[in-house]
Amino acid sequence: MTVMAGMDLGYGSQVQIVRTNYLVVKDDGAATLQQCANFLEAYNLAIARLSFGNNRLLHCDYIAMAANAPSDADIGKGSNVLPLVATSGANVAFGGNHANPKNTGFGGSGTQLLPLHVLSVSGMQFDDATLTAGVTVNPVLADNIVEQVNFALLQDSLGQAADTTHTTGMHPSTLNLDAMFDDLVALLDTGTVNVNGITEAAFVSAGNTEGTTATTIADYSLGAESVGIVSVVVLAKTSK
């Protein structure tokens, strides 16, 4: 999550402009939630190294599988792992919210972000296996435009769309980005990624105390046109 601007409203509530990026991966087989989170870590490390740590525009906050739902999704959702894109795109977390956020409701102690207005929605497909070339995701589906995303947000506020974090009529805490996800997935039509190719035990995080060489994106079988990004910029307030 990148906070681009903020304003204090008092009483612990703030209005912020927040960018959230979702890494969408065409996987070649179901991986565990932890394996998905590990691949996201490897991707962000690769992007940081390519840009000498200076490019936050490509850093991703969440990861979503395009082909197979996480193999252990039935036991819960990871804080940065979304379920299968085809089933979750209409109700996704943004900002620092948990992938399946729960709010205590009006007057409660919840602090997740609540969307007031979507400022932009964009997408990019990585055209190669080295993450150095990109192709824009042009809107194909009729509802893949900012106006339609904001219309869906208004509908959510009426309780017409699935958002289990609030009761009907209260402000939602998720976004409907289903059309942009679908348009991106349609472009991921060449290669795949073996996200499940590295076991949880075999993955090594960067900066580990043992000084062991970290797992990198090169350790995965990454095909061309198998990875992309959905990026959304939202005017939001905290639920305090």
- Residue 54 — very low, low, confident or very high, per pLDDT cuts 50/70/90? low
Q: Indicate the pTM of the whole model.
A: 0.84
How confident is the model over 60-103, as pLDDT tens digits? 999 999 998 888 866 556 678 887 887 778 788 888 765 444 44
Q: How far is residue 172 CA from its own chain's centroid?
A: 17
The four Cα atoms 158, 164, 170, 172 give a dihedral, to 10 degrees, of -80
pLDDT at 105: 44
Pairwise CA distance, residues 140 & 143, whole Å: 8
How confident is the model over 3-52, as pLDDT tens digits? 655 555 544 567 889 999 999 999 988 899 999 999 999 999 888 887 66
Other beta carbons within 10 Å of 6:
12
pLDDT at 107: 41
Mean pLDDT of the chain: 79
C-alpha distances (whole Å) from 233 to each of 66, 101, 162 are 22, 19, 21
- Contact present, 114 and 99 (Cβ < 8 Å): no
SS3 content of the chain, % helix, strand, coil (to 5): 20, 25, 50
Task: Give strand ranges (E) for the chain.
Answer: 2-10, 13-25, 62-65, 113-126, 134-136, 227-238
How confident is the model over 154-209, as pLDDT tens digits? 877 776 555 555 444 466 778 889 889 998 999 988 888 999 989 888 888 887 77
How confident is the model over 112-144, as pLDDT tens digits? 788 899 999 999 989 888 888 888 887 777 777
pLDDT at 75: 58
What is the number of alpha carbons within 13 Å of residue 63 lying toward its C-beta?
27
Pairwise CA distance, residues 93 & 31, whole Å: 21
The C-alpha angle 146, 148, 154, rounded to 5 degrees, equals 105
- Give the tokens for residue 41: 């870590």
Q: Nearest 5°: phi and psi at 141?
A: -70, 145
Give, to the nearest 10 degrees, the angle between helix 146-157 and helix 178-187: 140
Of 8, 7, 12, 39, the closest CA to residue 198 belongs to 39
Longest distance between any two alpha carbons in the chain, whole Å: 52
Pairwise CA distance, residues 102 & 99, whole Å: 10
pLDDT at 170: 61
pLDDT at 15: 85
Pairwise CA distance, residues 176 & 188, whole Å: 21
